[in-house]
Structure 1
Amino acid sequence: MSLSTLGTKSFRVGRSRTGLGLFATREIKKGARITRYRGPLLDHDTAVRVESRGNRYLFEISDDWTIDGKARSNVARYANHSCNPNAEAYYYGRGVYIRALRRIKPGEEITYHYGMDYLRNVIGIANCRCGRCVRRKARMRRERAAKLKRATARAAKRRRRS
């Protein structure tokens, strides 16, 4: 499916767990090109300068070039990070596109993995709020609580015996 076939009616910008996100408005088939990451190309030095001023929508395409995607017209900027994504960013010609890794249902948030460097250095692995990480952290909290409860019960049982 080409970009022109999908069009902007296949997704909308809406509220997500992490702020604004990109959501499917109809089924998107596996392999479909969803949107293009748009913006001016910046050389390395300019990108470093812009990033130091707080621009969070920079997409590094090589050591020398970065796309500045801060314009609101760049709807790809609203695709959030996930450690279990349903889409991916890929290069084609001189552009960066987002395509579906699997079938995406209407209403589902469109996400892609931003890369380990971004996850480590910008988001922070412990701060990731994607669905997969939120569920993992909740499971770990439940497991710690259950372990503490068992340890407390064993200690109380030992005290009663003595």
Structure 2
Amino acid sequence: MNTHVRIVVALLLGALVFAVTTVVVTAGFEPQIEFSLLIGLPVGVSAGLTALFASYVLLWHRDQAAAGTVSGRAVRLRLAALATIADFVTVTAAGVGLYVVLGRSLGISLLIAGLPVTLPLAAAVGYLVAGGSRSELGEVQTQ
């Protein structure tokens, strides 16, 4: 797949995930919170950026795997993308769970402030964990 096509696909997927997540979160919190868009927008932005990053990296990794050789950088970025997706799902579930069980402010704080902080950290940790030693990161044969 051409780089420009990957960029367009990632942008479209990121925009779609942003829009859907913003609407769903805003509608979900609307009965309890008057200004629920103030929760829906940050969560939607986090979801959209996560989808943008993950889709581009995973498409790039797929293209390299189809060519037969995957670079060490692609492997590390793939793990970073997967860690970011897992972090988004985990922190969102924890935020909603805390909102429902313990109280409103703690869950909302985790959704609004926790996601923008933990997503880059998850990506960095995933990238570093997949690093290994320099000699192992040459080229990985897939076929």
Mark the structure with the bigger radius of gyration.
Answer: 1
Q: TM-score under structure 1 normalisation?
A: 0.23
Q: TM-score under structure 2 normalisation?
A: 0.25
- Which of the pair is proportionally richer in strand? 1
- Which of the pair is proportionally richer in helix? 2
